[in-house]
Amino acid sequence: MQPEKLVNDRIGELIEASGKNVGAFSSQIGVAPTVLYNIISGRRSKPSFELLEKIIDAVPNLNLSWLIQGKGEMYQTNVSIDRELVSLPRINERVSTERILVATQDVHGNSTIPMINRRAAANYLSGFQTQEYFEELDPVILPNYMLKPGQHFLLQVTGDSMETTFHDGDWVLCRYIDRADWINLQDFDCYVLVSQDRGMQLKRVKNRLKQYGFIRCRSDNRAHTPFNLNYDEIIEIWHVEWKLSAYFPNLNEDLYKKMSFLEEELQDLKDTFNSFKNTRR
């Protein structure tokens, strides 16, 4: 016996029937994509009344009895078809013979990760990190095999303090560390440490909580001096798991340029020495 379908399931069916992906459908009804991802993946038990109202307003030929109770057909038969929704060709309209491949992604079994950019980071520090706050952020969907158990977010890197490991504009996938596990932070691993005075800091740490009650935060860019955060100053700690970057330096080319520069410098020194030696004769 098949389990009874929920409103969440029917919303997923409606999105699939519309021919749009979740992102396009969420834009049509005016909500953040992560709201629908949480609904159809079962992470949210029931859709809110406001969400149902937005869906009804955006799809006027939708059968409300079907959406709420699962009775009847998806669309009402006595309402004109929304051409934008089902993309039907008009009479005498030329139909393209070109084939367009539509990739439909199955997001079930994956995880939705909120993305905290520079603007969102300021709100995060102001105490707005409620469930509703996370649902309004842009999301990234990642397969579960990339994630360890726990809560995750993607944080955008700001500044140059962690160059050359992390660059301004990079994204890092972070996993929440429970306060009881702070004592086990690994030396020289990268963490995001949240404190009221210093905000959100991406640093490589030396764990001195057991001996002295603080964590030493170091930058990979040695132009930035290390600093300590006492246990009582720290609000949250997140471990950096993955990096998403648009920066692709050619390290071999950089090394080649440095070698060429050194070779030129060495040749200049040789020429200078030979010239000096000849003048002494």
Residue 174: closest CA among 90, 240, 120, 109: 240
Whether 24 and 58 map to the same domain: the answer is yes
In angstroms, rounded to a whole number, what is the distance separating the alpha carbons of residues 14 and 6? 13
Q: Which of 8-12, 99-103, 222-226 has the lowest mean pLDDT?
A: 99-103
In the predicted model, what is the mean pLDDT of residues 1-18? 79
Whether 119 and 206 map to the same domain: the answer is yes
CA atoms within 13 A on the CB side of 182: 22
Tell me if 232 sits within 8 A of 205, measured CB to CB: no
Residue 107: closest CA among 15, 178, 17: 15
Whether 126 and 208 map to the same domain: the answer is yes
CATH assignment of the domain containing 44: 1.10.260.40
Q: Which residue has the tokens 């139909």?
A: 95
In angstroms, rounded to a whole number, what is the distance separating the alpha carbons of residues 108 and 93? 38
Residue 92 lies in a domain: no
Residue 93 lies in a domain: no
Q: Which residue has the tokens 């004109």?
A: 80
Would you state the pLDDT for residue 81? 41
Whether 82 and 114 map to the same domain: the answer is no
Whether 41 and 158 map to the same domain: the answer is no
Residue 176 lies in a domain: yes
Residue 273 lies in a domain: no
Q: What pLDDT, in 10s, does the model give residues 22-79?
A: 878 888 888 877 788 778 876 666 788 888 888 888 888 888 888 888 888 888 865 4
**How many domains is the chain built from?**
2
Whether 29 and 146 map to the same domain: the answer is no
Residue 162 makes CB contacts below 8 A (sequence gap 6+) with 190, 202, 203, 204, 219, 220, 221
Answer with the residue of higher pLDDT: 280 or 38.
38
Tell me if 216 sits within 8 A of 226, measured CB to CB: yes
Would you state the pLDDT for residue 61? 87
User: Is it the case that residue 143 has pLDDT exceeding 70?
Assistant: yes
Whether 136 and 233 map to the same domain: the answer is yes
| Confidence label for 242 from pLDDT (cuts 50, 70 and 90) | very high
Task: Specify the pTM.
Answer: 0.56
Would you state the pLDDT for residue 172? 95
Residue 1 lies in a domain: no
In angstroms, rounded to a whole number, what is the distance separating the alpha carbons of residues 192 and 161? 13
Q: What pLDDT, in 10s, does the model give residues 103-127?
A: 445 556 678 888 888 777 777 777 6
Whether 114 and 236 map to the same domain: the answer is yes
Whether 81 and 115 map to the same domain: the answer is no
CATH assignment of the domain containing 168: 2.10.109.10
Q: What pLDDT, in 10s, does the model give residues 169-213?
A: 999 999 999 999 999 999 999 999 999 889 899 999 999 999 999
User: Is it the case that residue 128 has pLDDT exceeding 50?
Assistant: yes
Whether 75 and 122 map to the same domain: the answer is no
Residue 196 lies in a domain: yes
Of 54, 86, 118, the residue at which a domain comes to its end is 86
> Which domain covers residue 238, as residue numbers?
110-244
Whether 77 and 126 map to the same domain: the answer is no
Residue 95 lies in a domain: no
Residue 262 lies in a domain: no
Whether 228 and 166 map to the same domain: the answer is yes
Phi and psi (nearest 5°) for 180?
Answer: -65, -20
